[in-house]
Amino acid sequence: MPTLDSRTPAGPLAEKWTKRKTDLKLVNPANKRKYTIIVVGTGLAGASAASSFGELGYNVLNFCFQDTPRRAHSIAAQGGINAAKSYQNDGDSVWRLFYDTIKGGDFRAREANVYRLAEVSNNIIDQATAQGVPFAREYGGTLANRSFGGALVSRTFYARGQTGQQLLIGAYQSLMRQVELGKVKMFPRTEMLDLIVIDGRARGIVTRDLVTGKVESFLADAVVLATGGYGNLYYLSTNAKGSNVTAAWRAHRKGAFFANPCYTQIHPTCIPRAGEYQSKLTLMSESLRNDGRIWVPKKSGDGRTPDQIPEGERDYYLERKYPTYGNLAPRDIASRAAKQACDAGLGVGPGGLGVYLDFSDSIKRLGAKAIGERYGNLFDMYNRITGENPFAVPMRIYPAVHYTMGGLWVDYDLMSNLPGLFVLGEANFSDHGANRLGASALMQGLADGYFVIPYTIGDYLARGGLAKADNGHADVKAAEAAVNSREKKLLGINGKHTVDWFHKKLGEIMWENVGMARTKESLEKAIQEIPALRDQFWRDVKVPGVEGEFNQELEKAGRVADFLELGELLSRDALDRNESCGGHFRSEFQTEDGEAKRNDAEYAYAAAWEWTGENKPWTLNKEPLVFENIQLQTRSYK
Amino acid sequence: MRLTLEIWRQKGADDAGRFVRYDHDDVSEHMSFLEMLDVLNQKLIGKGEEPVSFDSDCREGICGMCGFVVNGYPHGPQPLTTVCQLHMRHFHDGDVLRLEPFRAKAFPIIRDLAIDRSALDRVIMAGGYTSINAGGPRDANSILVGKKESDLSMDAAACIGCGACVAACPNASASLFTGGKISHLGLLPQGEPERKTRALSMVERHNAEGFGGCTVIGACAEACPKGLKLDFIARMNKDYLAGTLTFREEASGGGSG
Ligand SMILES: Cc1cc2nc3c(=O)[nH]c(=O)nc-3n(C[C@H](O)[C@H](O)[C@H](O)COP(=O)(O)OP(=O)(O)OC[C@H]3O[C@@H](n4cnc5c(N)ncnc54)[C@H](O)[C@@H]3O)c2cc1C
Ligand code: SF4
Ligand code: FES
């Protein structure tokens, strides 16, 4: 089985990034304008990369499928962003942030990347503040912090419940400045539908203009994907409706390895599903667990309203099982505990699929005003969706698919195995191992875009060797032809079921068999059912309209077609990993008290899957995870 | 419950467009407004008809992608609520709802309820930022910001760029949007150095994009799902005036020596 080299610099952990930066080749400033870089995505990762490239003098072509770059899904992040500033004087440090992240990821991430992430985290806060991001402040004018799951220090910076929005708007504004200066050319409502590879290097993309339907190719010296996560594979997730895997998947089919797809994060605190027509699930930020207490009735089938259940008859199960971390236990643990409670018949609300998140103690202790200041907009959102007031009755919450730790494999420089293809943010697999800690995705996206890729891409470009390529190149024509014929095919099937019908079916298969708990049997079932559904899709889907127009059903059809392939790979990866770690819980592998049981002897590697062709088995490549600085342990939050 | 929907259908910029009536008898009070339309679209596709085009992404009231007019109200009648967060429990069995796109010269219609709001991006391009590059800024806590100013700046920064304010305004002005950005940055020490030039160039771009002027009617603030206040327009006018008064060509050249 082939092994992969991460090209991590040698030397002590704390000096690796400095060493790499000194060794990197530089592009002469006067030559930067001769290079063109494609950036797909305008979320925190894409916008920060594109604006930084523009500032450095490169020509940038930047794409997103929304109508403006400011709407990328990063906008929805509520809770906050971590950094090792230690402004609270509570013992935080770069090392501690590094350690918490590695441990939170259940020892399945690459040490050197995580250390670099912690190292540059402080720069992010400085950068965002200089952009005018209105972080929450103390009365003295300094920045405020809150706590997030999986940490015993208070290192999370926030802007009310809209941290992602404010960070993204900061990055977007810098991006707009570069657009005005002519360094970045922006292509909103434009979807990447294929990667162009010439002489083994990523050289461009094929896109569809979502307004006119025009299919077109763009060429460049390097391609950067910052296209977000694939949680919508499950149909219902906390992701935005448009979030999809297409860009990454198309690159995968062109040779980029897809790593650890089975590491999916199920978030413990989401508003439960209300009915068949449900189109997405809404997250209630983890920050609520600072002041909310999670409980279920002790008695199965207890029909009383929450206020009528006396203290003694409530089970605050997280506080009971994990006295040290309590309600702030990491997400995978909190989600599984909620599922266990509901499986045991203790769930509340319709269908018994919910647990209480109760603020009454905090309201008694701090007053409704203080709680309103901290979480007002989240309470309002809950109230708008459910019609219930969390000041008066506890919230009902249930886990939902939220984040995907897996993604395209990248080396230390964030380059995939395909030379010239770089992958940033949630779209890559790099920093969160098998479980991501809260407030660490925003940190990673901005670290990648502002402080890592501007250095490493220069090294790639400075090494040269890129042949001239133009739109007449046979590989460009072939990629374009493939996109066109796939669209024609989708529109020509004219079958019985809508795209959404297939997407929901796929979601059901995934949630039932490849969700919070997986078994050999359930995974084998998924591996049978998904290809069958995929065949049915290509025989029986109904996509109305034509290609040369604004056609939202056609957009969705292409995305669902790719999910139907990813679903199979994800299930296979989960079946292959005979251990439980982080978000990947195999029921066969658990400790006596129901915790994940890792198998470090056999599975301390990243699984990077290689596409070998239509209907052919994937090849598994392994990147061994070497831990030189920390001791592998069983995670304990007790 | 059952609803009658009158929806604006327009194939593209060249099509004249018209309202089309749909009877929708499959509506639950727990649905969001957009889920109600999703269900309608599934039925239309099943019948071989064209589904209704409308934009949405986050469906959490934060991305600003959704937005159309319901019975004359941008984002519908519920205050401080985007149409993706509007739930059907606020409507009644038998209601007739008229859905049309946000209308303004600066917002061309793409199809049905989907519009082109890129003019708002171009207003930001004119100066809605602090002109700093990535790398090397000073420690965040070396810039102290009073909690009050910081909170007010956040109130202004909460704008989601949806364009409802423009749709609500009889002059199709984007002053609340523009004033929001000018206030967000102008209230912070980081935005101070460019406060006046920013106001000047953003307002000029706003006008050039075909948005109308503000005559302080206040319909924008009523329609704004994020509660932006008219005060932000006042702040914009003050900074704009200061900008015109102090405007002079930038000094050029690096000097001799
Ligand atoms: C509800 C919610 C709350 C969250 N809260 C937090 C939090 O508090 N703290 C935290 O750290 N993390 C949080 N996260 C996670 C975090 O927000 C995301 O992981 C992160 O923002 C992803 O950023 P990104 O730049 O990688 O991708 P995204 O922001 O998803 O951006 C993807 C971009 O790619 C573009 N794109 C995708 N495919 C294509 C294509 N084929 N063609 C063209 N363009 C394409 C999109 O248009 C978009 O611009 C939250 C996530 C959710 C869902
Ligand atoms: S000011 Fe309000 S209505 Fe106008 S774009 Fe911003 S959020 Fe929308
Ligand atoms: S869809 Fe994002 S605000 Fe409505």
Examine the domain organization and report whether B97 and B165 are in the same domain: no
Examine the domain organization and report whether B34 and B150 are in the same domain: no
Nearest residue in A to B113, CA atom = A550
Q: Is A195 helix (H, G, I), strand (E, B) or coil?
A: strand
Nearest to A444, CA basis, from A410, A477, A470, A472: A410
Examine the domain organization and report whether B201 and B153 are in the same domain: yes
B88 within 8 A of B36, measured Cβ to Cβ: yes
A273 band by pLDDT with thresholds 50, 70 and 90: very high
Examine the domain organization and report whether B104 and B127 are in the same domain: no
Examine the domain organization and report whether B22 and B47 are in the same domain: yes
Residue B122 lies inside a defined structural domain of this protein: yes
DSSP A258-295: EE-TT-EEEEEEEPPP-STT-----B--GGGGGT-EEE
- B30, B125, B137: residue with CB nearest A275: B30
Q: Measured between CA atoms, how close is B104 to chain A, in angstroms? A: 17
pLDDT for residue B235 is more than 70:
yes
Which positions in chain B touch A553 (Cβ < 8 Å)? 45, 51
Ligand 2 center to A406 CA (angstroms): 36
- B63, B121, B184: residue with CB nearest A132: B184
Question: Which ranges constitute the DSSP H helices of A344-367?
Answer: 360-366
Examine the domain organization and report whether B73 and B56 are in the same domain: yes
Per the CB < 8 Å rule, is A73 touching B63? yes
Nearest residue in A to B155, CA atom = A134
pLDDT for residue A122 is more than 80:
yes
* Cα separation, B56 vs B82, whole angstroms: 11
Examine the domain organization and report whether B194 and B90 are in the same domain: no
Segment A301-311 mean pLDDT = 93
Ligand nearest to the CA of A67: 1
ipTM computed for the complex? 0.96
Choose the residue to mutate in A42, A63, A66, A74 for probing ligand 1, maximizing ligand atoms within 8 Å of C-beta.
A74
- B38, B117, B128: residue with CB nearest A176: B128
Highest mean pLDDT of the ranges A250-264, A274-288, A460-474, B136-150 = A250-264
Per the CB < 8 Å rule, is B65 touching A66? yes
Chain center to CA of B26: 31
Burial (0-12, 13-18, 19+ Cβ within 10 Å), A620 = middle
In this structure, which CATH number among 3.90.190.10, 2.60.40.10, 1.20.58.100, 3.30.70.20 belongs to the domain A474-599? Answer: 1.20.58.100
Residues of A annotated as catalytic (active site), given as ranges: 331
Residue B216 lies inside a defined structural domain of this protein: yes
Residue B218 lies inside a defined structural domain of this protein: yes
pLDDT reported for residue B257: 45
Please state the domain extents for chain A. 266-401, 474-599
Segment A377-406 mean pLDDT = 94
Nearest to B191, CA basis, from A131, A159, A178: A131
Lowest-confidence segment of A10-24, A285-299, A565-579 by average pLDDT: A285-299
Residue B111 is classified by DSSP as: E
The overall average pLDDT reported for chain A is 95
A167 band by pLDDT with thresholds 50, 70 and 90: very high
A83 within 8 A of A70, measured Cβ to Cβ: no
pLDDT reported for residue A146: 87
pLDDT for residue A362 is more than 70:
yes
B256 band by pLDDT with thresholds 50, 70 and 90: very low
Per the CB < 8 Å rule, is A176 touching B64? no
Residue B94 lies inside a defined structural domain of this protein: yes
Segment B1-7 mean pLDDT = 97
Choose the residue to mutate in B120, B160, B173 for probing ligand 2, maximizing ligand atoms within 8 Å of C-beta.
B160
A67 φ, ψ (degrees, to nearest 5): -80, -15
Take residue A603 and report the two structure tokens written for it. 């599975």
Nearest residue in B to A134, CA atom = B154
Ligand 1 center to A178 CA (angstroms): 21
pLDDT reported for residue A150: 77
Ligand 1 pocket residue status of A246, Cβ below 6 Å: yes
Ligand 2 pocket residue status of B159, Cβ below 6 Å: yes
A34-79 per-position pLDDT tens digit: 999 999 999 999 999 999 999 999 999 999 999 999 999 999 998 8
* Proportion of chain A above pLDDT 90, given as a percent: 90
Which positions in chain A touch B124 (Cβ < 8 Å)? 172-173, 176
- A128, A186, A241: residue with CB nearest B57: A241
Q: Which residue has the tokens 């103690």?
A: A361
Residue B83 lies inside a defined structural domain of this protein: yes
* Cα separation, A356 vs A350, whole angstroms: 13
Ligand 3 pocket residue status of B35, Cβ below 6 Å: no
B57 φ, ψ (degrees, to nearest 5): -145, -70
pLDDT reported for residue A330: 85
* Cα separation, A414 vs B128, whole angstroms: 31
pLDDT for residue B253 is more than 60:
no
Choose the residue to mutate in A121, A289, A442, A452 for probing ligand 1, maximizing ligand atoms within 8 Å of C-beta.
A442
Q: Measured between CA atoms, how close is A47 to chain B, in angstroms? A: 12
Domain assignment of residue B209, given as a range: 117-133+141-246
Examine the domain organization and report whether B183 and B64 are in the same domain: no
Give the Cα-Cα-Cα angle A198, A200, A205 (nearest 5 degrees): 45
Q: Measured between CA atoms, how close is A549 to chain B, in angstroms? A: 9
Residue B55 alpha carbon, nearest atom of ligand 3:
1
Segment A162-175 mean pLDDT = 97
- B64, B87, B184: residue with CB nearest A385: B87
Characterize the bridge pairing of strands B3-9 and A619-624: unpaired
Segment B193-214 mean pLDDT = 97
* Proportion of chain B above pLDDT 90, given as a percent: 93
- Specify the CATH class of A266-401 in words: alpha beta
Q: Which residue of A52, A73, A126 is the best one to mutate when testing the B interface, meaning the one whose CB has the most B CBs within 10 A?
A: A126
Ligand 3 center to B237 CA (angstroms): 29
pLDDT for residue A597 is more than 70:
yes
Q: How many domains does chain B have?
A: 2
* Cα separation, A295 vs A298, whole angstroms: 9
A217-271 per-position pLDDT tens digit: 999 999 999 999 999 999 999 999 999 999 999 999 999 999 999 999 999 999 9
A594 band by pLDDT with thresholds 50, 70 and 90: confident
Which positions in chain B touch A159 (Cβ < 8 Å)? 154, 157
pLDDT reported for residue A351: 86
B248 band by pLDDT with thresholds 50, 70 and 90: low
Ligand 2 center to B128 CA (angstroms): 15
Examine the domain organization and report whether B45 and B160 are in the same domain: no
Q: Which residue has the higher pLDDT, A333 or A538?
A: A538
Nearest residue in A to B185, CA atom = A132
* Cα separation, B114 vs B67, whole angstroms: 8
Take residue A479 and report the two structure tokens written for it. 């990629």
Ligand 2 pocket residue status of B163, Cβ below 6 Å: yes
Residue B255 lies inside a defined structural domain of this protein: no
B8-55 per-position pLDDT tens digit: 999 998 999 999 999 999 999 999 999 999 999 999 999 999 999 999
Take residue A27 and report the two structure tokens written for it. 């592009």
pLDDT reported for residue B249: 57
* Cα separation, A610 vs A261, whole angstroms: 12
B137 within 8 A of A129, measured Cβ to Cβ: yes
pLDDT reported for residue A633: 86
Take residue A40 and report the two structure tokens written for it. 């797909």
Determine which residue's CA is closest to atom 2 belonging to ligand 2: B224
Residue B185 lies inside a defined structural domain of this protein: yes
Examine the domain organization and report whether B176 and B69 are in the same domain: no
Examine the domain organization and report whether B79 and B193 are in the same domain: no
Ligand 2 center to B103 CA (angstroms): 15
Same fold, A266-401 and A474-599: no
Which positions in chain B touch A180 (Cβ < 8 Å)? 125-126
* Cα separation, A266 vs A255, whole angstroms: 29
Total CB pairs under 8 A between chain A and B: 215
Ligand 2 center to B101 CA (angstroms): 15
Segment A375-392 mean pLDDT = 91
Q: Where are the beta strands (DSSP E) in B58-160?
A: 69-70, 73-74, 96-100, 109-111, 114-115
Kindly report the pTM of this predicted structure.
Answer: 0.97
Examine the domain organization and report whether B195 and B222 are in the same domain: yes
B83-137 per-position pLDDT tens digit: 999 999 999 999 999 999 999 999 999 999 999 999 999 999 999 999 999 987 7
Residue B256 lies inside a defined structural domain of this protein: no
Determine which residue's CA is closest to atom 7 belonging to ligand 2: B159
Question: Which ranges constitute the DSSP H helices of B77-146?
Answer: 118-125
Ligand 2 pocket residue status of B74, Cβ below 6 Å: no
Q: Which residue of A384, A496, A501 is the best one to mutate when testing the B interface, meaning the one whose CB has the most B CBs within 10 A?
A: A384
Q: First and final CA of chain B: distance in angstroms?
A: 80
Buried b / exposed e along B219-237 (16+ C-beta atoms within 10 A): bbbebbbbebbbebbebbb
Ligand 1 center to A438 CA (angstroms): 14
Per the CB < 8 Å rule, is A141 touching B145? yes
pLDDT reported for residue A375: 85
The CATH number given to whatever domain includes residue B76 is 3.10.20.30
Q: Which residue has the tokens 């304008």?
A: A33
